[in-house]
A and B are shown apart, each in its own frame.
Chain A
Amino acid sequence: MLTDGDLQAIWLTVKLAGIVTIILLLLGTPVAWWLARTRAWWKGPIGAVVALPLVLPPSVLGFYLLLAMGPNGPVGHLTAAMGLQTLPFTFWGLVLASVFYSFPFMVQPLQNAFESIGDRPLEVAATLRASPLDTFFTVAVPLALPGFLTASILTFAHTVGEFGVVLMIGGNIPGVTRVASVQIYDHVEALEYASAHRLSAVMLIFSFLVLLGMYLWRPNAKKGV
């Protein structure tokens, strides 16, 4: 069966992915809305920066984040000034790194969902006395709800599957930064193939179920306005 260490790693993974998903819902939504609505020329550059984690090797991202969060990096200075410990090799360091790493998985589905709404429902809301903020919450969010679901699932699942960035930023501290993917790595390193099998199977089944759920549950998103 799964060891206590395995269960601890799974719980840590779920906690990390959950917190990252919530943070990214709050951060990614305005960015996605802006990218979907703006006609500014820097939409392109910003969109590219948001998409960078899709193509960068996790070690590159992890390396830069490590430098930034270290005692001599800008984030390190900030945390020192606020009287906090430096972030690398802590759970919250891992959260911060994951937020960067999973950013495009939240922003891109949301941006697509917002773009597919089109201008018309927003114009209608304006002619019905709704302010832009009111329109966002009462028209854009309800119409983009399937996009929110897709984005949240992708973000959660992608954070669960993270490995390289975790190793760079968090190391391998049980109960603090040792998530499931790292735990499996440890099992393999220690030649505990049976343990590695069990935990890997859990991850495999989890990932399959998440994706299956997404493909089966196709809400009536595209019904015309």
Chain B
Amino acid sequence: MATIDARFQLDWPGFQLDVDLQLPAKGVTALFGHSGSGKTTLLRCIAGLERPRLGRLSFKGNIWQDEQSWLPTHRRPLGYVFQEASLFPHLSVLNNLRYGQKRSQATQRIALDQAIELLGIGPLLDRKPDLLSGGERQRVGIARALAVSPEILLMDEPLAALDLKRKQEILPYLERLHDELEIPVLYVSHSPDEVARLADHLVAMENGRVVAHGPLSETLARLDLPIRLGEDVGVVLDATVGEIDKEWHLARVDFPGGSLWTRDRGIPAGKRVRVRVLARDVSLASAEPAPSSIQNVLHGHIDAIADDDHPGLQLVRVKIGDTYLVSRLTRRSAVGLGIAVAQPIHVQVKSVALME
């Protein structure tokens, strides 16, 4: 499979980046980490906006930089979305979109019209950027990056500068990008929620280094993930809507090894969805639990046990069919249940988040 092969070493006062990474050249790859972890710097290196001491980068077999050669940013077939939309204030929305489009020699994989439609900015084209809301500006910024018909889209926390309402406004557009575009996306984020919704592949960074990377669900299910997620520890399952229960307004989502009931959000049966299950919403029982308000009870085996950040807590990974769930429980409960690897266990899931 065609890949992105990146090797960067960069020394700044008080910060070092040291990365050697192979990424799939398809789907959405999240570069995830806390601020100062180097994720934005890595993205800027890939874009050619930083020139590291040592850098090798190839994209689908084309060398963008190595010891001898250096392709400047404007010759790299990429699109870049900055944290602030950074629209040109002297140009109208339409001319912002055209700025890159008319300079791009790429075959028009993404027509301007398609980018405008995809981001829903048709009514804004004649306006000047300073008359747009923050969310509108960022949608224009994304459309502008797409209009150059890039072979890869780099996004640097495109939602970080926006409030919750604006985020909710843009997230559906990003999900559409994910579904409708065939180009790979590198998405920098410090938000576990955005990562769970958008990413297929996860690169976790800390102190300028990659501490874990792999397919999203697999990587999130790792108990030894060195990055501190706190309340956001959990897994993401790829599932299918199996049945809609009209009477109770519930939907059943099926994943390899089991199924879960959740609120019906109007997603039709047969559609592929993502289900996010947080560790704090998963509890364990050694015997078949008595009837309770928790409807989702699954059966599996304990797969791994690890300490959580807090000394009173443990994380337990349970294998259900081919799927892993992670549960957070107190060390006292773990001892009380006599938790041990390979032991059969009943799993209660209190709530799940369904993502289209």
Binding site for B on A (CB under 8 A): 120-121, 123-132, 134, 138-139, 142-143, 223-225
Contacts and interface: CB of A to CB of B under 8 A. Distances in A.
A129 B148 contact: yes
A125 B103 CA distance: 10
A131 B89 contact: no
B79 interface: yes
Given A130-B99, A223-B89, 11 more contacts: A120-B86, A124-B80, A124-B82, A128-B100, A128-B103, A130-B74, A132-B74, A143-B89, A143-B90, A224-B130, A225-B87
Nearest to B83: A120
B145 A127 contact: yes
Contact of B88 (A126, A129, A225): A225
Interface of B: 47-49, 72-75, 78-80, 82, 84, 86-90, 99-100, 103-105, 130, 144-145, 148
26 contacts: A120-B84, A120-B86, A121-B88, A123-B73, A123-B82, A124-B82, A126-B48, A126-B49, A126-B74, A127-B73, A127-B74, A127-B78, A128-B144, A129-B75, A129-B103, A129-B148, A130-B99, A130-B100, A132-B74, A134-B103, A138-B99, A143-B90, A223-B89, A225-B86, A225-B87, A225-B89
Contacts of A121: 86, 88
Q: Is the contact region of chain A dominated by helix, strand, or loop, or is it mixed?
A: helix
A224 B89 contact: yes
B68 to A, nearest CB: 21
Which of B47, B73, B130, B148 has the most C-beta atoms of chain A within 10 angstroms of its own C-beta?
B73
Which of A124, A127, A138 has the most C-beta atoms of chain B within 10 angstroms of its own C-beta?
A127
Contacts of A130: 74, 99-100, 103
A224 B131 CA distance: 12
Contacts of B78: 127
Contacts of A124: 80, 82, 86, 88
